[in-house]
Amino acid sequence: MESLALRRDGVIQDMLGQVDEAMRDLIDEISCHSVARTATGHRASHTAQLKMSSDCRDVLLGSLIRVLAGELLFPVPDSKDVFESVQGLRERLTSLLKTIEPMGWSTNDEVAGMGASRHTHCNPFTALAQKIEETARHVVDPQTVWDGEHITRHMLERAQRTGCQGIQLRNSTT
Amino acid sequence: MASPPLTSDMEALSLGVADAPPPSNRAMTVLDQEGDLRLEIGPEHAPFLVDSRALARVSPVWRRSLFGDAATTQRVQGRPWIVQLPDDDEQALGFLLGVAHGVLPRSPESVRHDEVCALSVTAAKFDMVHLLRPWAEGWCASLMKAGVTSFRGCADRLRVGWELGHAMLFNSMAMQILTDIEVTGDGRLVDPDGEPLSSNPSFASVDLLRTWTRVSTASRVEC
């Protein structure tokens, strides 16, 4: 026998794990690059591409932490501490990943004389958002279905009559 | 209070009509001195003297059952009007009848957690949930704070959330229940003791079983 909740927890864990992994990858790359720069004395012989990538990583990591913290998702929580639906979390994560603008890149562009379009390949979050979408795409989780028309209509009708809290069916256990 | 049987609140109740005075030796609870209807509630036929119009005013279910075209009981001139409700909870329905008549037989604040479930279910059955408006939010908030020690307790509170429209209680209990229920090989949902959820009245009324079964099927297919 299997538990429905375990399935839900697993999917949420997968999605949060992907975000966590992306963040750790950035940290690792920044660390490695710093070591490399120290070892080479940060010589001017570094290519412009390498320097730009390093700047991008810094900006990306900072931006990611900023948006995650704004959604109370930093440090990345354990799935047991997430009470919203799979689809709700998917929507929230993908939306916030798409809001990460290349903040600071335009300044660098001016210095480097490069167009913003040159940075599209630097942004890993588009792919991450797609990956999260894929993870949650086929999952029908119970809380999402509770938002179905029949149940929502029933709860709202009863709430109007009893004065109870009939709104916010999702995320309401937090 | 035990959970009364389920009845759609859109249908007229099936009321038992007594031709002769019932074999009850219980003292009559008089909610209206001028009452025209005697209700006998529960297996012990606890008698309540009520005003039929007062009930019809607060609930379309009572109105249809007592006065509608499909009324299952009719008053006969010269005979006492007696309606038996043997399957209903005496305390829960008695409380609701009292509120409908402006009489509170006991303090609503003294209602125990386990009694809230029977009250909610009975109120829904007779379409009287609006009478609980002054206390519904407080009861549900109290149930939210109280610890739940059993699956049955969760199921009862889920039912309360459903009947009173308290989304937070409903959501919270459903999440706890989801951690406990399991899916059998043939796709049935069972509680931790292996009992089918479909046999539990709390789930039969709440339209979640169909949903959860569908979810479990989808998950299994995906896995």
Ramachandran quadrant class, A165 (left: phi over 0; alpha: psi -120 to 50; beta: rest): beta
| Res A28: pLDDT | 86
Helix (H, G, I), strand (E, B) or coil at B90: helix
B176 and B77 part of one domain = no
Q: What is chain A's pLDDT, residue by residue, as a tens digit (174 residues)?
A: 566 666 677 888 899 999 999 899 888 888 876 665 555 554 433 333 444 466 778 888 888 998 899 888 999 998 878 777 777 788 889 988 888 865 555 544 444 544 444 555 667 888 899 889 888 776 656 565 565 567 778 888 999 999 997 554 444 333
Residue B82, strand partner residues: B38
Q: Is B184 on the interface with A (CB under 8 A)?
A: yes
B144 or A146, which is more confident?
A: B144
A89 and A158 part of one domain = no
Q: In degrees, to the nearest 5, what angle opens at C-alpha B215 toward C-alphas B210 and B218?
A: 125
Report how far residue B52's alpha carbon sits from residue B113's, in angstroms, rounded to the nearest whole number.
30
A124 and A149 part of one domain = no
A40 and A22 part of one domain = yes
This prediction's pTM? 0.62
Report how far residue A130's alpha carbon sits from residue B46's, in angstroms, rounded to the nearest whole number.
64
Q: Whole domain around residue B121: which residue ranges? A: 1-127
Distances, alpha carbon B82 to alpha carbons B13, B57, B76, B123, B127, in Å: 15, 19, 10, 21, 21
| Res B80: pLDDT | 82
A147 and A124 part of one domain = no
The C-alpha of A164 sits at a distance from chain B's nearest C-alpha, in angstroms, of 5
Distances, alpha carbon A94 to alpha carbons A18, A71, A103, A124, in Å: 12, 12, 18, 12
Contact B168 A143 (CB under 8 A): no
Given a contact cutoff of 8 angstroms between Cβ atoms, the answer to whether B184 and B145 are in contact is no
Q: What is the DSSP string of chain A?
A: -B-HHHHHHHHHHHHHHHHHHHHHHHHHHHHHHHHHHHHHTS-TTS-HHHHHHHHHHHHHHHHHHHHHHHTT-SSPPPGGG--S-HHHHHHHHHHHHHH---TTHHHHHHHHT--GGGGGGG--HHHHHHHHHHHHHT---HHHHHTSHHHHHHHHHHHHHH----S--SSTT-
B163 and B68 part of one domain = no
Contact A2 B183 (CB under 8 A): yes
Given a contact cutoff of 8 angstroms between Cβ atoms, the answer to whether A161 and B133 are in contact is yes
Helix (H, G, I), strand (E, B) or coil at B19: coil
Contact B167 A165 (CB under 8 A): yes
Q: What is the mean pLDDT of residues B74-98?
A: 87
| Res A110: pLDDT | 47
Query: Domain of B32: which CATH number?
Result: 3.30.710.10
B98, amino acid identity: G
The C-alpha of A8 sits at a distance from chain B's nearest C-alpha, in angstroms, of 9
Contact A3 B220 (CB under 8 A): no
Is the pLDDT assigned to residue B212 strictly greater than 60?
A: yes
A10 and A52 part of one domain = yes
A13 and A28 part of one domain = yes
A34 and A103 part of one domain = yes
Report how far residue A62's alpha carbon sits from residue A105's, in angstroms, rounded to the nearest whole number.
13
B154 and B118 part of one domain = no
Q: Is B178 on the interface with A (CB under 8 A)?
A: yes
B102 and B40 part of one domain = yes
Q: Are strands B82-85 and B16-17 parallel, antiparallel or unpaired?
A: antiparallel
Under the banding of pLDDT at 50, 70 and 90, the label for residue B63 is very high
B60 and B32 part of one domain = yes
| Res A143: pLDDT | 60
B169 and B223 part of one domain = yes
Decide if B177 is inside a domain: yes
Q: What is the mean pLDDT of residues B194-206?
A: 81
Given a contact cutoff of 8 angstroms between Cβ atoms, the answer to whether A88 and A144 are in contact is yes
Report how far residue A56's alpha carbon sits from residue A119's, in angstroms, rounded to the nearest whole number.
8
Phi, psi of A27 (to 5 degrees): -65, -45
Q: Whole domain around residue A161: which residue ranges? A: 142-174
B20 and B111 part of one domain = yes
Q: What is the enclosing helix (H) or strand (E) of B37?
A: strand B37-41
B18 and B105 part of one domain = yes
B201 and B94 part of one domain = no
| A166 closest CB neighbour out of B167, B174, B181 | B167
Given a contact cutoff of 8 angstroms between Cβ atoms, the answer to whether B206 and B159 are in contact is yes
| Number of A–B residue contacts, CB under 8 Å | 126
Decide if B137 is inside a domain: no
| Res B6: pLDDT | 34
Report how far residue B92's alpha carbon sits from residue B123's, in angstroms, rounded to the nearest whole number.
8
Contact A164 B212 (CB under 8 A): no
Decide if B141 is inside a domain: no
Under the banding of pLDDT at 50, 70 and 90, the label for residue B216 is low
Q: In degrees, to the nearest 5, what angle opens at C-alpha A53 toward C-alphas A51 and A58?
A: 100
| Res A170: pLDDT | 44
Number of domains in chain A: 2
Number of domains in chain B: 2
A128 and A152 part of one domain = no
B162 → chain A, closest CA residue: A155
Closest CA to B66 of B88, B87, B38, B91: B38
A76 and A48 part of one domain = yes
As a whole number of angstroms, the longest Cα–Cα distance in chain B is: 70
A15 and A53 part of one domain = yes
Given a contact cutoff of 8 angstroms between Cβ atoms, the answer to whether A125 and A97 are in contact is yes
In angstroms, what is the C-alpha Rg of chain B?
20
Give the single-character DSSP code of B3. Answer: P
Contact A173 B137 (CB under 8 A): no
Let me know if B110 is exposed, middle or buried by CB neighbors in 10 A (0-12, 13-18, 19+). Answer: exposed
B80 and B15 part of one domain = yes
Q: Which of A2, A3, A4 to mutate to test the interface with B (most CBs of B within 10 A)?
A: A4
| A142 closest CB neighbour out of B132, B178, B184 | B178
**Chain A residues with CB inside 8 Å of B136's CB?**
162-164
The C-alpha of B130 sits at a distance from chain A's nearest C-alpha, in angstroms, of 5
Closest CA to B179 of A174, A172, A142, A91: A142
B118 and B207 part of one domain = no
| Res A51: pLDDT | 47
Is the pLDDT assigned to residue B106 strictly greater than 80?
A: no
Phi, psi of B85 (to 5 degrees): -130, 70
| Res B18: pLDDT | 53
B102 and B177 part of one domain = no
A48 and A128 part of one domain = yes
A127 and A169 part of one domain = no
**Chain A residues with CB inside 8 Å of B119's CB?**
none
Contact B218 A173 (CB under 8 A): no
Report how far residue B81's alpha carbon sits from residue A93's, in angstroms, rounded to the nearest whole number.
64
A2 or B183, which is more confident?
A: B183
